[in-house]
A and B are shown apart, each in its own frame.
Chain A
Amino acid sequence: QSALTQPASVSGSPGQSITISCTGTSSDVGGFNYVSWYQQHPGTAPKLMIYDVTKRPSGISNRFSASKSGNTASLTISGLQPEDEADYYCTSYTSSSTFVFGTGTKVTVL
């Protein structure tokens, strides 16, 4: 299985909105509503930010939102804050009953 495709980096100024894409195939992203997003700060374990394409776990800011269209899922961070600077990974369930991660996106707050 091939990793889902994400942009290597995305940047924005404080207060701005940014969007990270996650492109797969009909066998993963496009075929199931089981896309989730994780935030990872350096030296720490990833943290679940979004599950089931659009849902936020308890305690996650509503500045984080997500969607899916066809084989591409997207994570939007609005009102960008310095603490949002981190790596972000998408993941999807696949038709082989496995999971595949995205390539990862480094978000920089300018």
Chain B
Amino acid sequence: QVQLQESGPGLVKPSQTLSLSCTVSGGSIRSGSFYWSWIRQPAGKGLEWIGRIYTSGTTNYNPSLKSRVTISVDTSKNQFSLKLTSVTAADTAVYYCARAGVIPAAIWDWGQGTLVTVSS
């Protein structure tokens, strides 16, 4: 059973870069056909898909965030990461990392989520 765990600063200042990592345990990030994904959820609001990276390094991003987002993979650490630049208060949310299938294209496994607050 694959498990995912987010880690990173819980507080980021406006205009700075939000950086989170997701550690995958119980399986290799290189094995199988999966997309490693990031989703976020502002308090009391709905889910927003941020983007994904395939094991080959191919990425897809939410068009509304594309100019600020980078998702990368570090196979040596069995981790993948999210960087979101020029953050504002609107980026305050619980950030989830997740494992999604290629076919079927669904999100099968989720991390527990980590709250990131953007505030000075």
Contact = CB atoms under 8 A, between A and B. Distances in A.
Nearest to B45: A104
A1 B63 contact: yes
A45 B106 contact: no
A18 interface: no
B113 A101 contact: no
Given A36-B107, A96-B63, 15 more contacts: A1-B62, A1-B64, A38-B47, A48-B107, A51-B104, A51-B106, A57-B108, A89-B47, A91-B49, A91-B107, A96-B60, A97-B60, A98-B51, A99-B52, A101-B49
A48 B39 CA distance: 14
22 contacts: A1-B62, A1-B63, A1-B64, A3-B46, A34-B106, A36-B104, A36-B105, A40-B47, A45-B111, A52-B105, A91-B49, A96-B63, A97-B60, A98-B60, A98-B61, A98-B63, A99-B49, A99-B52, A101-B47, A101-B48, A101-B49, A102-B46
Interface string A23-64: 000000000001010101000111110011001010000000
Interface of A: 1, 3, 34, 36, 38, 40, 44-48, 51-52, 55, 57, 89, 91, 93, 96-104
Contacts of A52: 104-106
A38 B52 CA distance: 18
Contacts of A57: 108
Contacts of A104: 46-47
A4 to B, nearest CB: 10
A36 B113 contact: no
Contact of B112 (A38, A45, A89, A100): A45
A100 B60 CA distance: 12
Contacts of A99: 49, 52, 105
A98 B62 contact: yes
